[in-house]
Amino acid sequence: MSNENGKKNEKKTAVEWHSVLRDLKNNLIFIVMSVLIGLMVVFIIGKSMYSPVYSSVATLVVNAKIGNANPYANLSVSSEMAKVFAEVFVQPSMRERAAQELPDGWFRGSLTASAITGTNLFQVTVTTNNPETSYEQLCAVMKVYPQISNIVFENAVIDIIKMPSMPHGPSNSMTKANAAAIIMGCLIFSVGGFTLLSILRDTVKTEQDFAQKIDSKLFCVIPHERKNQTLFFRLKKTKKGLLMNESGTVSLKFSESFHQLAAKIEYTKRMTGAKVYAILSIAENEGKSTVAANIALSLASKGARVLLFDLDMKKAALYKLFSLQYEEKAELGDLFSGSIPQEEFRVRQYKKSTLFFAVNTRSHKGSGQWIENGTVKRVLSEMRGQYDYIIVDTAPITADSSVSQIVQIVDTSMLVVRTDVVPTASINDAILTISNLSSDFAGCILNDVYPEFTLIGQVGLDESGVYYSRHYGKYGKYGKYGKYGKFGKYHRYGKYSRYGRYSNYSRYSNYSRYSKYGKYGYYSHDYSGPYAMIGENEDDNDTE
């Protein structure tokens, strides 16, 4: 046990790039603002501390007097002389002689000289805080330099190839390169900061994170599903709920995850007899109502009578998912308040299916007292015998304290945990509280799990390499002409078709040995056999 606890407590910081990119997208406005603020600060500091200077430049060439020697040798000697003269021009004696030529006798500027590498050219620059002063002082240097150059090298000739010119602007102004460097620095700082905060945020980002950080059983994993997947809904920007029966807007992988979840609930019912399941969440927008609705749809698709029971009295969401409108004598809050008697309450039916609704279309005050005085428990007890499953949608735990009482009146509760939303400490505290209130806590449903961020993952493959994009079209494996298609092996005239081996009139049909009423069928008393609807050896696919 100590080793297991040690591994449980060992938390590894992993980078989940979907989370990082999502955070950068959500904070894009702040990233842009940080860049603009950086530019404003640089501009303000530059204006308050900036002192413009002006540089006047002259270019000179050095030639050696070595007769008709090799021109390459001449260039080499001249290049070396240019370096020497560049050093001579910056000596104090040059400034003193130039000052004598100035009207005020004062050389104020900064005198620099540099040889151009690989040539016999060098540049002389005078920099002051006034363009006219820079020009006058450089002209004075050009006037007196022969007095010193002739003393240093008698066999060298210095010619001016570019006369001094008046500066047209400051030589220390901010260039485009400087501005770009400042923008990139601010951008890198802001993006790096948000990325670091995203990585260090202590939330559940992946299934591996859940195993390391959460002290609870992982009941099921629901993959991320993008809303408005079709082009029509994207252009229309329709806010449509993610319901698994809407095959045109949800993927196969999303639907199959809820079928697996429903199968586990069926197994739980067979093992424990639980019929009333509360779907909980800690915060808003964790997908609790969507999970409850899809569980009910999946169970109803198998023929079970399912009731969606809405106990989120403050901010109901189920009616929005199914586009339900207000109807008289069908409001659950009115039933609890006594406005309508139990026998007159109308339970709505969903499209001639075995799914029924007991929901609210508006908020109702006083929901806490209905739970405390036993009204909710009494209504649930009366409806228990009419349905195979009752899925209870509750308010978030942080928004309504009465959720703790709901946990005690249902058979089993499950906590929906959306990735990268609630801190792990809050999740563990909520699990501990629920476990103390009720021993029948099934575990957590990890919702909105992104696939592994890899190149393969971005083109439609999950971590296991299974292609989960919507490529089950007209001519695909499961398309119109595929294995299960219109003329396929298992269609009307196929092996399992109406007239096939396992059809309605065959040995395995409706009234045969393996049928609905047969020896191993649904209504058979032998539920432990290998052909029962939920067998003893069925794998519950629990994920620890």
Q: What is the pLDDT of residues 417-434, one digit of tens each?
A: 999 999 999 999 999 999
Which pLDDT band holds residue 406 (cuts at 50, 70, 90)? very high
pLDDT of 522 higher than 50: no
Helices (H), 50-158: 71-89, 92-100, 131-152
Which pLDDT band holds residue 120 (cuts at 50, 70, 90)? confident
CB 417 within 8 A of CB 286: yes
Task: Please count the CA atoms within 13 angstroms of the CA of 236 that sit on its side-chain side.
Answer: 10
pLDDT of 315 higher than 70: yes
Q: Once rounded to an integer, what is the mean pLDDT over residues 93-106? A: 88
pLDDT of 167 higher than 50: yes
Going from the C-alpha of 386 to that of each of 152, 303, 317, 513, the distances in angstroms are: 115, 14, 24, 29
Helix, strand, coil shares of the chain, percent, nearest 5, are: 40, 15, 45
Q: Which residue has the tokens 């971005």?
A: 458
CB 329 within 8 A of CB 348: no
Of residues 405 and 487, more confidence is placed in 405
Q: Domain residue spans in the chain? A: 14-50+174-200, 54-162, 207-458
Helices (H), 201-331: 207-213, 231-236, 252-272, 288-301, 318-321
pTM over 0.85: no
Yes or no: is domain 207-458 CATH 3.40.605.10? no
Q: The domain at 54-162 falls in which architecture?
A: 2-Layer Sandwich (3.30)
Burial 61-72 (b: 16+ CB within 10 A, else e): bbbbeeeeeeee
Q: Which of 12-21, 99-108, 411-420, 499-508 has the lowest mean pLDDT?
A: 499-508
pLDDT digits (tens, 9 = 90+) for 232-259: 555 555 556 788 876 567 888 999 999 9
Looking at residue 176, its pLDDT comes to 67
Looking at residue 226, its pLDDT comes to 80
Of residues 15 and 246, more confidence is placed in 15
Helices (H), 101-213: 131-152, 176-200, 207-213
Which pLDDT band holds residue 496 (cuts at 50, 70, 90)? very low
pLDDT of 471 higher than 90: no
- CA distance linking residue 390 with residue 388, whole number of Å: 7
